[in-house]
């Protein structure tokens, strides 16, 4: 990235930057970064913005499937007055090329028109809505805390470099945070040049990048076309860490009513967080602080009905406990379900799914699989021995369940590194175990499995005991697709845990990796996958993860 952009001239000439009596950078705005050429596919959240068919050029940042954030001065009639930009459609035709490290190619990234602008009134910053959603590209979430002086930051932009007037490639940069002010951040390091206005300035948080600011003003020292005597490389950006709620409120037009609920069991406890349809996560809350403590939680699962999120946990005593989070946000405390479900051997694993009016609960105890249901009045049936109905399997280690259209409860188990599937039909009858490894291809030895029903289809993820993760679909007619690899998205390691959920017609999955991270991705209804994101914000080291979707 490089330099400071003239607020009054967007062509070859730049106005001279000035310094106030206090030494603060003022005057012109930045248009690009002069750094190293970014590796192919890197920083795919970065966009090249064309305004007025080449009249202006800026950079921007994708923050979810349909919104970017950039500098208001890119679109203002007078770039020196960015806060005068009105909300609404851009005055000039504006196009964003997103996720293209090399702008000369058309095989990567996406191109969209910008249809709506929502500017801030206190800083050089604007939200830009895309004409249609983009898929498969990374988002850059706003930082959760302000940068600190001396902090190492990174940047990426499409602006002018020291020797190229109009670069065809994305450039990366390194910065050091300097003065942090109420709405702005001073940085120094790699020159910020023309074309970098609006470019992301970000930090790494536990391996996940998050947006600290967007580039605005710069001295442009070392940028092509700048006075050779100008050697200053300092720049300024508009902070975003303090306006997260404003961003959420103003991108709400593309939100659905559906949220993803995530339950993470870690080395320090049980934690719950939510993700809305724009990709924003809440902080993770300590479930046991609000729902009561369970000694030595071994495993946990969750499901939702009409906005109420039900959480189930296996305690160190082998009993199954239930709590729930009401749609209003309050919690009902854990209670031991042994009296309602009946006494069985100590449970080690559980899985749960919504049946529409109630819940279906699957438990693994003493090498056998058990099933129970909760009706619309929240009354439980007694445990039924599924093994007696479906046939015995040796060495069962995992259970999962999902609901498909018509009231069928789909049940899966991992037994002896093989995946099996059965159905409890709406009339209460059961199918026999089916061997998934024999029904389709490309599976291999299995150590984990998760189900989610979308319409009449059952979406399945399988983790491999030799490393990697695969996805396949059992269609409503009973046929299986081949399983495709998700290694390029979620990694080729032997995963510790896997969860899945159907959320507003989309398939979502999350895994716990051997190095103690939770990774999440989703498959849209059109079959396109989003880029993987690393989930953060939970205390301790994750040991298992469960997902469900809820409205409201």
Looking at the structure, do residues 234 and 283 belong to the same domain, yes or no?
no
173 in a domain, yes or no?
Answer: yes
Contact assessment for residue 349 and residue 363, using Cβ atoms and an 8 Å cutoff? yes
Looking at the structure, do residues 383 and 524 belong to the same domain, yes or no?
yes
Contact assessment for residue 349 and residue 399, using Cβ atoms and an 8 Å cutoff? yes
What was the pLDDT predicted at 28? 42
CA angle 122, 127, 131 (to 5 degrees): 160
450 in a domain, yes or no?
Answer: yes
Return the SS3 of 333: strand
Return the SS3 of 167: coil
Looking at the structure, do residues 356 and 488 belong to the same domain, yes or no?
yes
What was the pLDDT predicted at 36? 54
Structure tokens at 348: 């080690």
Contact assessment for residue 151 and residue 143, using Cβ atoms and an 8 Å cutoff? no
CA dist., res. 477 & res. 527, Å (int): 19
Structure tokens at 106: 């058309």
Cα separations in angstroms, 183 against 1, 43, 238: 21, 24, 6
What was the pLDDT predicted at 205? 83
> How many structural domains comprise the chain?
2
Closest C-alpha among 383, 287, 292, 389 to residue 342: 383
Closest C-alpha among 366, 332, 362, 339 to residue 350: 362
Looking at the structure, do residues 417 and 435 belong to the same domain, yes or no?
yes
Distance of CA 175 to the CA centre of its chain: 26
What was the pLDDT predicted at 498? 98
Looking at the structure, do residues 305 and 243 belong to the same domain, yes or no?
no
How does pLDDT run across 320-365, given as a tens digit for each residue? 999 999 988 899 999 999 999 999 999 999 999 999 999 999 999 9
Looking at the structure, do residues 162 and 226 belong to the same domain, yes or no?
yes
What was the pLDDT predicted at 30? 40
Q: Which domain holds residue 76?
A: 18-247
8 in a domain, yes or no?
Answer: no
Contact assessment for residue 211 and residue 140, using Cβ atoms and an 8 Å cutoff? yes
CA angle 379, 380, 383 (to 5 degrees): 170
Q: Which residue has the tokens 């009596």?
A: 21
Domain stop point among 214, 247, 280: 247
Task: State the sign of the Cα–Cα–Cα–Cα dihedral 459, 461, 462, 468.
Answer: positive
Domain stop point among 187, 216, 247: 247
Domain stop point among 247, 274, 308: 247
350 in a domain, yes or no?
Answer: yes
Cα separations in angstroms, 263 against 55, 430, 436: 49, 30, 27
What was the pLDDT predicted at 226? 83
Looking at the structure, do residues 180 and 200 belong to the same domain, yes or no?
yes
CA dist., res. 140 & res. 22, Å (int): 34
pLDDT beneath 70, residues of the chain: 1-42, 163-165
The length of the chain, given as a count of residues: 552
What was the pLDDT predicted at 515? 94
What residues contact residue 68 under an 8 Å CB cut-off, 6+ apart?
47, 49, 60, 61, 62, 96, 98, 114, 127, 128, 130
What was the pLDDT predicted at 31? 39
Looking at the structure, do residues 181 and 280 belong to the same domain, yes or no?
no
CA dist., res. 215 & res. 35, Å (int): 14
Which domain CATH number covers 185? 2.40.10.120
CA dist., res. 147 & res. 385, Å (int): 56
Looking at the structure, do residues 243 and 269 belong to the same domain, yes or no?
no
Contact assessment for residue 202 and residue 212, using Cβ atoms and an 8 Å cutoff? yes
Which domain CATH number covers 275? 2.120.10.80
282 HSE (CA, 13 A, CB side): 15
Task: State the sign of the Cα–Cα–Cα–Cα dihedral 348, 263, 372, 325.
Answer: positive
Cα separations in angstroms, 480 against 429, 434, 441, 455: 22, 12, 9, 15
Looking at the structure, do residues 131 and 65 belong to the same domain, yes or no?
yes
What was the pLDDT predicted at 231? 82
How does pLDDT run across 223-280, given as a tens digit for each residue? 877 888 888 888 999 999 999 999 999 999 999 999 999 999 999 999 999 999 999 9
What was the pLDDT predicted at 164? 67
Contact assessment for residue 534 and residue 262, using Cβ atoms and an 8 Å cutoff? no
CA angle 312, 317, 322 (to 5 degrees): 20
What was the pLDDT predicted at 131? 98
189 in a domain, yes or no?
Answer: yes
What was the pLDDT predicted at 17? 28
Q: Quick one: 351 exposed, middle or buried, by C-beta within 10 A (0-12, 13-18, 19+)?
A: buried
Per residue, the 3-state secondary structure of 337-367, as one string, reads CHHHHCCCCCEEEEEEEECCCCEEEEEEECC
Helix (H) or strand (E) holding 423: strand 418-424
Task: State the sign of the Cα–Cα–Cα–Cα dihedral 221, 222, 226, 230.
Answer: positive
CA dist., res. 302 & res. 300, Å (int): 7
311 in a domain, yes or no?
Answer: yes
Return the SS3 of 433: coil
What was the pLDDT predicted at 1? 53
7 in a domain, yes or no?
Answer: no
Contact assessment for residue 487 and residue 508, using Cβ atoms and an 8 Å cutoff? no
Looking at the structure, do residues 243 and 259 belong to the same domain, yes or no?
no
Quickly list DSSP for 463-516: EETTS-EEEEEE-TTS-BPPPEE-HHHH-SS--SEEEEEEETTEEEEEEE-TTS
Looking at the structure, do residues 152 and 196 belong to the same domain, yes or no?
yes
């Amino acid at each position: 990235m490089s330099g400071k952009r003239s607020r009054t001239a967007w062509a070859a000439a730049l106005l001279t930057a000035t310094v106030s009596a206090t030494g603060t950078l003022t005057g012109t705005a930045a248009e690009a970064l002069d750094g190293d050429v970014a590796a192919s596919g890197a920083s795919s959240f970065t966009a090249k913005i064309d305004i007025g068919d080449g009249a202006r050029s800026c950079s921007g940042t994708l923050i979810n499937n349909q919104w970017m954030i950039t500098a208001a001065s890119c679109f203002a009639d007078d770039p020196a007055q960015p806060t005068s930009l009105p909300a609404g459609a851009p005055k000039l035709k504006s196009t964003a090329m997103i996720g293209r490290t090399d702008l000369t190619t058309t095989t990567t990234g996406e191109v969209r028109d910008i249809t709506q602008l929502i500017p801030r009134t206190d800083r050089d910053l604007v939200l830009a809505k895309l004409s249609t959603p983009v898929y498969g590209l990374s988002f850059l979430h706003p930082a959760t805390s302000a940068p600190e002086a001396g902090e190492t930051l990174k940047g990426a932009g499409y602006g002018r470099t020291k020797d190229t007037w109009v670069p065809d490639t994305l450039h990366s940069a390194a910065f050091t945070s300097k003065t942090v002010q109420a709405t702005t951040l001073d940085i120094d390091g790699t020159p910020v040049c023309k074309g970098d206005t609006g470019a992301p300035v970000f930090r790494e948080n536990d391996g996940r990048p998050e947006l600290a600011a967007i580039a605005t003003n710069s001295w442009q020292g070392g940028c092509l076309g700048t006075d050779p005597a100008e050697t200053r490389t300092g720049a300024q950006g508009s902070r975003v860490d303090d306006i997260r709620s404003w961003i959420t409120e103003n991108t709400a037009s593309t939100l659905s009513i559906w949220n993803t609920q995530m339950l993470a069991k870690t080395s320090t406890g049980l934690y719950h967080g939510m993700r809305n349809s724009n990709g924003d996560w809440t902080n993770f809350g300590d479930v046991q602080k609000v729902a009561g403590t369970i000694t030595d939680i071994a495993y946990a699962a969750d499901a939702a009905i009409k906005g109420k999120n039900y959480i189930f946990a296996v305690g160190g005593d082998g009993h199954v406990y239930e709590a729930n989070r009401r749609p209003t946000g309050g919690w009902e405390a854990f209670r031991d379900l042994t009296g309602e479900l009946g006494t069985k051997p100590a449970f080690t694993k559980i899985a749960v799914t919504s049946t529409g009016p109630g819940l279906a609960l699957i438990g693994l105890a003493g090498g056998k699989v058990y099933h129970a249901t909760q009706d619309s009045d929240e009354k439980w049936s007694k445990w039924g021995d599924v093994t007696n109905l479906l046939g015995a399997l040796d060495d069962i280690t995992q259970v999962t369940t999902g609901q498909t259209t018509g009231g069928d409860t789909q049940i899966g188990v991992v037994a002896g590194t093989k995946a099996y599937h059965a159905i409890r039909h709406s009339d209460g009858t059961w199918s026999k175990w089916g061997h998934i490894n024999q029904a389709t291809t490309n599976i291999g030895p299995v150590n984990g499995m998760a189900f989610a029903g979308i319409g009449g289809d059952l979406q399945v993820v399988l983790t491999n005991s030799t490393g990697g993760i695969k996805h396949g679909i059992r269609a409503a007619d009973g046929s299986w697709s081949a399983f495709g690899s998700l290694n390029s998205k979620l990694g080729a390691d032997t995963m510790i845990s896997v969860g899945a959920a159907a959320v507003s017609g989309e398939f979502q999955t999350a895994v716990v990796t051997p190095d103690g991270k939770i990774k999440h991705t989703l498959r849209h209804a059109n079959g396109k996958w989003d880029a993987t994101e690393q989930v953060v914000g939970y205390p301790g080291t994750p040991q298992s993860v469960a997902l469900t979707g809820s409205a409201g």
